[in-house]
Structure 1
Amino acid sequence: MTLVYNMDQDRPHAQQPPDGDSVIEKLPPNDVVVPITNGSESSLPPTKPPAPLTWKLIAVVITSLIRFGSSWSGGITSAMKSTLKKKLAINNKQFALLEASEDFMVAILILPSGLLTDRLGGARTIVYGNILFTFGSILVASAAQVRSFNFMIGGRVVLALGDIATQVAQYKIFSSWFPPSNGFASTLAFELAMGKIGGFVGTATANVISKRTGNFAWTFWVSVFVNLFTNATTILFYWFNTVAHRKFAPVSDPSTGEKLTERSKSFEFKKVLELPWTFWCVIAFSLFETSTAIIFQQNATEMAEQRFNVDAIKAGWYSATVQYAGFFLVPFLGVFIDLFGNRISLMAFCGIGMFLSMALVNWADSQKGFAAAFGIYAFALSFGPTTIIDSIRTSMWHQSVFGSAYAIKIAINNSINIIVRIVTGALQDYDDNSYRRVVRVYLFLAAGSVVVSVLLILLSWRSIDLGYLQWTRKQRFGKGDIWNERKERYHEDNGARNRCISKVCFAGLIVLILGSWCAYIWGAITGHNS
């Protein structure tokens, strides 16, 4: 028989295996399995050692380099909004359509991509995604070279297909290496900081390259070269990840005993449809806060040109600074979340900061007021992505479907982005290229993030399932049995009600996606007939 540690009790007990074979239950990390064989030799294969910290850090560094390259490419189109409108002879509505074309593809395919990533694993998916992303960037650069708006939309669609795969795969990789409150937020924050640096360089140099070379297409060709570097880094990571899984045992959550996986044996549709209500609470905050940030960033460079009365190069530096200046704060935030939790409090802080920034953008008439809005925005933005993504992971009962859960977050944000981008593009054209009415939409979205975050704080005082997001590292490690008990009660005692809530929320997501498709089609029709 085999000595087995039962997580539901505080003492080991002996369990008689069937037919004389040894049985080993899932164990928390660092526990030792002691086979007792009734006088015979154990035939069990030697247990693989856990992955050392050095290997984990190497995985983080390589993945962060991948993020650097993709973020570079992601920052250049919005930075060149005024240049693209002039060179391609398009209006604001058509530019919004160009940006929304990528969001449209993401809204269509991101959910299947999340399921596929959970099934195949992040390392394999990211290789295919980056190859497709690079091919799409070549098409976009070619479209810029021949000055074709329609060609550029086609290139953005292909580029989006690659981006769909890589967005989910990067965070799925981290979720399989690090549990919540045990390195996930810290490594996630480091990767996001590298992404901010890449985005800053891409946004700040986009108009510089365009002016110095005399051809704005060179900005997109430089992006192609950066993507080739990203592909090489991706292949390196795939090889590294394969070796690591061959040498080391899978990581387990030291708090709950859950075994972390990079890929599943089958598609887990049921778990995706039954994501907990706490997950949907985090998604509700992201719907407002992330959408405000993304849509504001799309127009930040051109808005800076108008409000500061400067050329595209200076405006590009201003908008790059406001979007990415907080990169040095992000790693510290990740460490704070891992140690002290308080995720909902950080969401509220981020939401209030975003609202104050948009209020200044809306009501401040002076350049000093607009500069203050940029500064507050840069600070508040630094708290958003790390807190939201870590909260999504922490709110879930099953890590095996984290790829699908993060895909839902992207689907909602992109659907809202499509609707708002098309509407604000039309408003800007109606206002003769002014942002007078557009900024009111930003203010409304930011106010929504404040309202949701305050409601979450109130609910966290009443519900332990939501209050769990506030737990510190010490609390999480000391109350793993409570987490496991709540998980069991969620599925068994209140299973029917909880499944109904989850399915209603998922149905709402589908309605939102369909609404974004209608908005995109409307934008395509009105954009080409204007």
Structure 2
Amino acid sequence: MAATDASVEGQQTPVRVSDTEAGVMEKETGTPRIISVNGDDTSSLRSAGGRKTKVTLQMKIISVVLVSLIGFGSHWSSGVTGAMKTALKKGMGINNTQYALLDATDNFIKSVLIITTGLYTDRLGGAKTLVWGNALFTIGSVLVAAATTTRNFKFMLGAMVIQSLGDVATQVAQYKVFSSWFAPSDGFASTLGFELGLGKIGSFVGQTTANVIATNLGDFSWTFWMSVVMNVFTNLVTVVFYLFTRWCNKHYSDGGKSDPATGEVLTENNRKLEWKQFSRLPWPFWCVIMFTGFQTTCASVFGSNATELAEQRFHVSSIKAGFYSALTQYMGFFLVPLLGMFIDVFGQRLSVMMVCGTGMFLSMSLIMWAHTMSGTAAGFGFYAFAVSLGPTVIIDAIRTSMWYQDVFGSAYAIKICLNNVMSIIMRIVTGVIQDHDNDTYNHVIIVYVILAAGSLLIGLGLVVGGSSFVSPIELGRLQWSRKKRFAGGDKINEAREAFETGIRAVWNRRFSMFSLVVLFVLTLGAWACYFWGVATGHND
């Protein structure tokens, strides 16, 4: 292949980059996937057509702010349902199993459609998917609010399906957008931290105000109508972001966003569905997926029941319980942006996952064995710390473990699929356990402890596996600092090429296919749990 030429604005002589330095690699279609390595963020490059090829920091910051505002609205809405569990059960006249079924409906829809959505998000682009996804989500939220007003449980189940169809699209799309603007150790984790931190504030506001709105306005359905208003705001911001993205596409060429370490071009959308790349995701990616299967599921299922647990353990009203549980779940919002910056600069992703798993295990253990209010409060404190670490490091580790950014949407869809599949199973199971345990959490906590213990063990295994003695490049690069990753771009490209040839390519493809089959089996199990809930959820 010929060397790559790049002209720097203000210089008369074009800079010529060798194949080794550029890491040039072609797709099977012949289109270059990786064009050059340029760590100089201050340079302003222009294409032959006059468009800038180097996206400015100002444009990147605007994109982060807009997508974060979109996330704020969706997180606000998600914080409402968990806080309203007691009010929903009383107002709608349903039991724990029916509530678990209501909650599982959202997870069921996502498990059915999320993989396909991820593939098509990679194909269409994150910005376009955000527009129609948020519009559908808003329609669903209107129907959910109407169902709570009419006290119709079956209507609410149907409304949740429509709302979930929109949510399933937006979950992948917003992080696909980030991956197309930022590379690992070059702002991706910091961007995640900012968005997730703002999202925690949104969830906190939604959860703490949910019961306040219901009490002061005299009906819990008003809380869901307020959620509709927030969703309308989210739609307006989404349209602004879509127009902003179109403007950027006119003023910047496709090569304007690239990984400064490996030279990989960061794409917004693909020319076709990347089924082949999807079917051979690297084994370090699946290691991260194993961790999130335990840690995120534990955090999600516990979080949805935290308000009611606080009511029982602290003997307080639903309003105070909502505030306490929201405080413990979201008080770490200021840690999330700091964690993102830490990961971008120092790496240590596997170590952070291990600390996260340890915190989850300590939290669930205290809540299980310390039945006093002080013991429960301490458990909530450890939970607040651990849950603040999880999302940022997991999403960034998924991106860093991959060889190609253009299938990040599909890879992240796998993560969401597993989380929702596990949540369906765990929520149905724990709902049944609670109904047979006098509506207490004495035995439900055992399930939480098992999940937390799994995340701790996997976290320890990842740290050992990423050591210089086991897998210093494939898994070990998740520990690399910004400086080391930028200096080791050639090593990453060499490892990628070795990973795709010979016996290692065959082994990885088989391992990836085996993992997809396991995910499919778990999905079938989750669907069985869901339909069992449909058949028996109306029986006390």
Structure 1 length as normaliser, TM-score? 0.94
- Tell me if 1:226 matches 2:267: no
Cα deviation, residue 46, structure 1: 3.8
Cα deviation, residue 525, structure 1: 1.0
Partner residue in 1 for 2:388: 382
Partner residue in 1 for 2:479: 470
**Alignment equivalent of 1:74, drawn from 75, 78, 85:** 78
Partner residue in 2 for 1:176: 180
Partner residue in 2 for 1:281: 287
Which runs of structure 2 are paired with 1:87-236 in the superposition (5 Å)? 87-236=91-240
Cα deviation, residue 11, structure 1: 10
Code of the residue aligned with 1:463 in structure 2: it is: S
| Cα displacement string for residues 482-509 of structure 1 (whole angstroms, at most 9, x for unaligned residues) | 0000000000131111111111111111
Query: Matches of 1:433 and 1:490 in 2, distance apart?
Result: 52
**Alignment equivalent of 2:57, drawn from 53, 57, 66:** 53
Partner residue in 2 for 1:316: 322
Structure 2 length as normaliser, TM-score? 0.92
Q: Please state whether the residue corresponding to 1:451 is helix, strand or coil.
A: helix
- Tell me if 1:270 matches 2:270: no
- Tell me if 1:485 matches 2:494: yes
Code of the residue aligned with 2:135 in structure 1: it is: I
Query: Matches of 1:325 and 1:24 in 2, distance apart?
Result: 42
Partner residue in 2 for 1:522: 532
Cα deviation, residue 248, structure 1: 1.4
Query: Matches of 1:194 and 1:520 in 2, distance apart?
Result: 32
Cα deviation, residue 459, structure 1: 0.9
Code of the residue aligned with 1:506 in structure 2: it is: L
| Cα displacement string for residues 42-97 of structure 1 (whole angstroms, at most 9, x for unaligned residues) | x9534533111011001000100000000011011110111111111110000000
Query: Matches of 2:58 and 2:33 in 1, distance apart?
Result: 29
Stretches of 4+ aligned residues off by more than 6 angstroms: 30-35
Cα deviation, residue 458, structure 1: 1.1
Query: Matches of 1:254 and 1:403 in 2, distance apart?
Result: 21
Q: Please state whether the residue corresponding to 1:528 is helix, strand or coil.
A: coil
Change (3 A) 1:102 1:33: closer
- For the 8 Å contact 2:262–2:492, the answer to whether it is kept is yes
Change (3 A) 1:378 1:11: closer
Query: Matches of 1:205 and 1:33 in 2, distance apart?
Result: 47
- For the 8 Å contact 1:29–1:251, the answer to whether it is kept is no
Partner residue in 1 for 2:462: 456
Change (3 A) 1:275 1:11: closer
Query: Matches of 2:200 and 2:186 in 1, distance apart?
Result: 23
Query: Matches of 1:379 and 1:34 in 2, distance apart?
Result: 42
Number of aligned residue pairs: give it. 513
Change (3 A) 1:364 1:190: same
Query: Matches of 2:353 and 2:535 in 1, distance apart?
Result: 38
Which piece of structure 1 moves more, 144-153 or 342-351? 144-153
Partner residue in 1 for 2:248: 244
Query: Matches of 2:338 and 2:507 in 1, distance apart?
Result: 39
Q: Please state whether the residue corresponding to 1:97 is helix, strand or coil.
A: helix
Partner residue in 2 for 1:15: none
Change (3 A) 1:436 1:487: same
- For the 8 Å contact 1:72–1:199, the answer to whether it is kept is yes
Code of the residue aligned with 1:490 in structure 2: it is: F
Q: Please state whether the residue corresponding to 1:496 is helix, strand or coil.
A: helix
Gap regions ≥5 residues in structure 2: 6-15, 24-31
Cα deviation, residue 323, structure 1: 1.2
- Tell me if 1:422 matches 2:438: no
Cα deviation, residue 10, structure 1: 5.5
Code of the residue aligned with 2:77 in structure 1: it is: S
- Tell me if 1:326 matches 2:332: yes
Cα deviation, residue 528, structure 1: 2.0
Query: Matches of 1:514 and 1:226 in 2, distance apart?
Result: 35
Q: Please state whether the residue corresponding to 2:537 is helix, strand or coil.
A: helix
- For the 8 Å contact 1:210–1:217, the answer to whether it is kept is yes
Code of the residue aligned with 1:9 in structure 2: it is: T
Query: Matches of 2:59 and 2:508 in 1, distance apart?
Result: 39
Cα deviation, residue 26, structure 1: 2.0
Partner residue in 1 for 2:12: none
Cα deviation, residue 9, structure 1: 3.3
Cα deviation, residue 240, structure 1: 0.4
Structure 1 vs Structure 2: percent identity of aligned residues? Answer: 54
Q: Please state whether the residue corresponding to 1:333 is helix, strand or coil.
A: helix
| Cα displacement string for residues 299-345 of structure 1 (whole angstroms, at most 9, x for unaligned residues) | 00000000000010000101111111100010000000000000000
Change (3 A) 1:209 1:7: farther
Query: Matches of 1:162 and 1:316 in 2, distance apart?
Result: 27
Code of the residue aligned with 1:128 in structure 2: it is: W
Query: Matches of 2:373 and 2:22 in 1, distance apart?
Result: 67
Query: Matches of 1:332 and 1:75 in 2, distance apart?
Result: 23
Query: Matches of 2:45 and 2:292 in 1, distance apart?
Result: 46
Partner residue in 1 for 2:11: none
Query: Matches of 1:96 and 1:24 in 2, distance apart?
Result: 45
- For the 8 Å contact 1:103–1:415, the answer to whether it is kept is yes
- For the 8 Å contact 2:121–2:269, the answer to whether it is kept is yes
Query: Matches of 2:538 and 2:88 in 1, distance apart?
Result: 16
Gap regions ≥5 residues in structure 1: 13-22, 36-42
Cα deviation, residue 6, structure 1: 5.0
Query: Matches of 1:202 and 1:492 in 2, distance apart?
Result: 50
- For the 8 Å contact 2:20–2:490, the answer to whether it is kept is no
| Cα displacement string for residues 106-132 of structure 1 (whole angstroms, at most 9, x for unaligned residues) | 000000000010000000000000000
Which runs of structure 2 are paired with 1:497-508 in the superposition (5 Å)? 497-508=507-518
Partner residue in 2 for 1:20: none
Change (3 A) 1:7 1:96: farther
- For the 8 Å contact 1:137–1:220, the answer to whether it is kept is yes
**Alignment equivalent of 1:403, drawn from 391, 409, 413:** 409
- Tell me if 1:27 matches 2:33: no
Change (3 A) 1:529 1:25: closer
Query: Matches of 2:70 and 2:167 in 1, distance apart?
Result: 12
**Alignment equivalent of 2:267, drawn from 261, 266, 275:** 261
